[in-house]
C-alpha cells in the first residue's frame, strides 16, 4: 500500500522561510506524480495552492512555491506570515484517476 509521508509539524518565525516535504514510503517522488499542495485552516475547506509540482493556483501569492527536492516534493513558504499558520497537505497522482494525500503538516508561525 502506497503511503505518502509528510512532517507532522513544523514551525517558522514570522518573515522566515520554511520548506515542507512530501515523500513516498517506498520510492521517490518525481514530476510524474504531479504533486499538488493544499492549505487548510481549522473549520474551513481546503484551498489549492500548487498543482503539477510548481504551478501556483489562481490568487496564490508568489511566496508559495513548489519543487522537487531530492526524492521528495517540496512546498516552500518565503516570508512567512501569521495567517500562513495552517495545515498543509500534499497529494500525489497514482494513475487511473486515483490520488493519495499525505497525512498533513501542521505549520506554526511563532
Q: Binding residues for other proteins, per CB under 8 A? A: 1, 34, 36, 38, 40, 45-48, 51-52, 57, 87, 89, 91, 93, 96-104
Q: 45 vs 110, which CB is nearer to other proteins?
A: 45
Q: How far is the CB of 2 from other proteins (least distance, A)?
A: 10
Q: What end-to-end distance do the CA atoms of the chain give, in Å?
A: 36
Q: 47 vs 63, which CB is nearer to other proteins?
A: 47
Lookup: cell for 99: 490520488
Q: How far is the CB of 40 from other proteins (least distance, A)?
A: 8
Q: How far is the CB of 9 from other proteins (least distance, A)?
A: 13
Q: Which of 35, 48, 56, 34 is nearest to 86 (CA)?
A: 48
Lookup: cell for 17: 522561510
Kindly tell me the burial class for residue 86, based on how many C-beta atoms sit within 10 Å of its own C-beta (0-12, 13-18, 19 or more): buried
Amino acid at each position: 500500500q502506497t503511503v505518502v509521508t509528510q512532517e507532522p509539524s513544523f514551525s517558522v518565525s514570522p518573515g522566515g522561510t520554511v520548506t515542507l516535504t512530501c515523500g513516498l514510503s517506498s520510492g521517490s517522488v518525481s514530476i510524474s506524480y504531479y504533486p499538488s499542495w493544499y492549505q487548510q485552516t481549522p473549520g474551513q475547506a481546503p484551498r489549492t495552492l500548487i498543482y503539477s509540482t510548481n504551478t501556483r493556483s489562481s490568487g496564490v501569492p508568489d511566496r508559495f512555491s513548489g519543487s522537487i527536492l531530492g526524492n521528495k516534493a517540496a512546498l516552500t513558504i518565503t516570508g512567512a506570515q501569521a495567517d500562513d499558520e495552517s495545515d498543509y497537505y500534499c497529494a500525489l497522482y497514482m494513475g487511473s484517476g486515483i490520488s493519495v494525500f499525505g497525512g498533513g503538516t501542521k505549520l506554526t508561525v511563532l
